[in-house]
């Protein structure tokens, strides 16, 4: 019997990579865990793995739905649109004698917060952030899913880090209730944006953050998008480490990280971050994407190329996440001081961001040029005004 259970678990991991919760012969996909927020006012798919042919039943807030797992063990049900609820409720998934139970699940608005280091910048390092984190426990209806990837600082990766550089294992983390500890480690910009949205009408807010410091837009493009355009051809294999289309800084950092293993994958590799950090959420009906990125790509003096990257990111995410009208909120690069030649193209990049926002439907620019500082450091620490403007942009877009 133990052998059969072991084989079943292996099968579940194969059909449901990145599974968040596994119990016996049933698994839930990565987006689903205790203390999460389910999206309100829209049908919500719930999916995972089970033994082939097994009947799977999902129950939540008085609603239930059943389906048979397909021959590969995959299953999906759709919960009907639900009103917002700050009352923690149990979500259960049953297949035969196996059962998964998620506790303290809310219903509200859920946002995917992504990009590079200014989005990943934690609340504890932001101006006033330590004090802000101490108040986080007063907002139990704000839930945080802090997904963390491999470090992209100047270290040489060890064997364990190299081993996790695959779509299933790269990102770690799950849902948590807001507290001093969870908020302090979470994105400062995302926290203040989410809090502004929550305070507007008290509806629960879920924030999923997967930003990676130094990452270029190309790392976040879906593989099908990269494969569909000839101009992306040299980004699809090891040639990306030599491509002038990728920031020289990013290529140098990747080579340093990979050391004697240049053939290994890397967070900066084109397509890698979408496949490892976004694809698992395909079908989850987000209320919007909060996108703060561009510092790396702004090093390349090619407005048409940068416009293409951002536009393909928006259209690619909408297609692969199966939300053709998914709102995007683009945070403009801030003003910074110094005379570093790597920053000389930032004004042009800001214009590219504005052009994309004007040219694509439901893409909103959050102007922050006036919110920078005089240091050459690309990380202005006063994140609260940026987060507030981002939250206000979300509210304004929703009111239209």
Residue 34 neighbours by CB distance under 10 Å: 18
- Same-domain check for residues 122 and 97: no
Percent of the chain with pLDDT over 90: 88
Q: What pLDDT was estimated at residue 340? A: 84
Measured in Å, how far apart are the chain's first and last C-alpha atoms?
58
- Same-domain check for residues 22 and 148: no
Q: Residue 262: CA atoms inside 13 Å, Cβ hemisphere, count?
A: 11
Q: What pLDDT was estimated at residue 238? A: 87
pLDDT in tens, 249-265: 999 999 999 999 999 99
In degrees rounded to 5, what are phi and psi of residue 76?
A: -155, 135
Domain extent, residue 10, equals 2-106
**Residues 88-98, buried b or exposed e (16+ Cβ, 10 A)?**
ebebebbbeeb
Q: What is the mean pLDDT of the chain?
A: 94
How far apart (Å, rounded) are the C-alpha atoms in residues 141 and 197? 12
- Same-domain check for residues 76 and 154: no
With a cut of 80, say whether residue 187 has pLDDT above it: yes
- Same-domain check for residues 124 and 89: no
Q: Structure pTM?
A: 0.95
Q: Pick from 64, 90, 106: which residue ends a domain?
A: 106
- Same-domain check for residues 281 and 268: yes
- Same-domain check for residues 70 and 161: no
- Same-domain check for residues 323 and 176: yes
Q: Pick from 106, 135, 165: which residue ends a domain?
A: 106
- Same-domain check for residues 330 and 364: yes
Q: What pLDDT was estimated at residue 25? A: 86
- Same-domain check for residues 43 and 115: no
pLDDT in tens, 34-70: 999 999 999 999 999 999 999 999 999 999 999 999 9
- Same-domain check for residues 117 and 65: no
State mean pLDDT over 338-345. 86
- Same-domain check for residues 224 and 128: yes
**How sure is the predictor about 1, in pLDDT bands with cuts at 50, 70 and 90?**
very low
Q: What pLDDT was estimated at residue 372? A: 85
Q: Pick from 56, 82, 106: which residue ends a domain?
A: 106
State mean pLDDT over 308-332. 98
Q: What's the chain's length in residues? A: 400
Q: What pLDDT was estimated at residue 7? A: 40
pLDDT in tens, 126-163: 999 999 999 999 999 999 999 999 999 999 999 999 99
- Same-domain check for residues 247 and 335: yes
Conformational region of residue 288, where left means phi above 0, alpha means psi within -120 to 50, and beta covers everything else: left
pLDDT in tens, 289-303: 999 999 999 999 999
Residue 270 neighbours by CB distance under 10 Å: 25
How far apart (Å, rounded) are the C-alpha atoms in residues 132 and 135? 5
Q: What pLDDT was estimated at residue 17? A: 63
Name the domain count of the chain: 2
**How sure is the predictor about 15, in pLDDT bands with cuts at 50, 70 and 90?**
low
Find the CATH number of the domain harbouring 225.
3.40.50.1110
pLDDT in tens, 269-284: 999 999 999 999 999 9
Q: Which two tokens stand for residue 102?
A: 């998620």
Find the CATH number of the domain harbouring 21.
2.60.40.10
């Amino acid at each position: 019997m133990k052998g059969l259970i072991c084989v079943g678990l292996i099968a579940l991991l194969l059909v449901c990579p990145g599974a968040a919760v596994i119990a016996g012969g049933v698994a839930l996909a990565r987006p689903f865990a205790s203390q999460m927020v389910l999206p309100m006012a829209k049908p919500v798919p719930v999916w995972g793995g089970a033994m082939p042919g097994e009947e799977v039943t999902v129950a939540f807030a008085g609603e239930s739905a059943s389906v048979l797992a397909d021959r590969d063990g995959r299953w999906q049900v759709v919960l009907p649109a639900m009103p917002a609820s700050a009352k923690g409720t149990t979500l259960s998934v049953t297949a035969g004698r196996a059962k998964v139970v998620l506790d303290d699940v809310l219903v509200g608005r859920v946002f995917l917060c992504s990009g590079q280091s200014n989005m990943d910048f934690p609340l504890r390092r932001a101006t006033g952030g330590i004090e802000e984190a101490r108040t986080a426990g007063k907002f139990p209806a704000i839930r945080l899913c802090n997904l963390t990837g491999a470090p992209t600082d100047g270290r040489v990766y060890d064997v364990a880090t190299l081993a996790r550089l695959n779509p299933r294992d790269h990102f770690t983390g799950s849902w948590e209730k807001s507290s001093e500890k969870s908020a302090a480690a979470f994105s400062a910009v995302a926290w203040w944006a989410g809090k502004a949205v929550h305070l507007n009408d008290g509806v629960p807010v879920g924030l999923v953050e997967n930003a990676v410091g130094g990452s270029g837009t190309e790392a976040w493009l879906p593989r099908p998008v990269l494969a569909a355009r000839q101009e992306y051809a040299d980004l699809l294999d090891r040639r990306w480490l030599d491509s002038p289309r990728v920031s020289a800084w990013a290529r140098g950092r990747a080579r340093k990280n990979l050391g004697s293993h240049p053939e290994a994958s890397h967070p900066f590799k084109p397509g890698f971050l979408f496949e490892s950090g976004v694809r698992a959420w395909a079908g989850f009906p987000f209320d919007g994407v909060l996108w703060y990125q561009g510092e790396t790509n702004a090093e390349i003096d090619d407005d048409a190329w940068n416009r293409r990257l951002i536009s393909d990111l928006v259209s690619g995410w909408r297609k692969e996440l199966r939300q053709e009208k998914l709102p995007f909120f683009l945070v403009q690069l801030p003003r910074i001081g110094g005379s570093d030649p790597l920053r000389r193209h930032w004004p042009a990049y800001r214009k590219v961001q504005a052009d994309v926002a004007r040219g694509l439907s439901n893409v909103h620019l959050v102007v922050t040029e006036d919110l920078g500082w005089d240091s050459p450091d690309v990380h202005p620490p006063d994140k609260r005004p940026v987060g507030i403007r981002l939250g206000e942009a979300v509210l304004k877009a929703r009111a239209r």
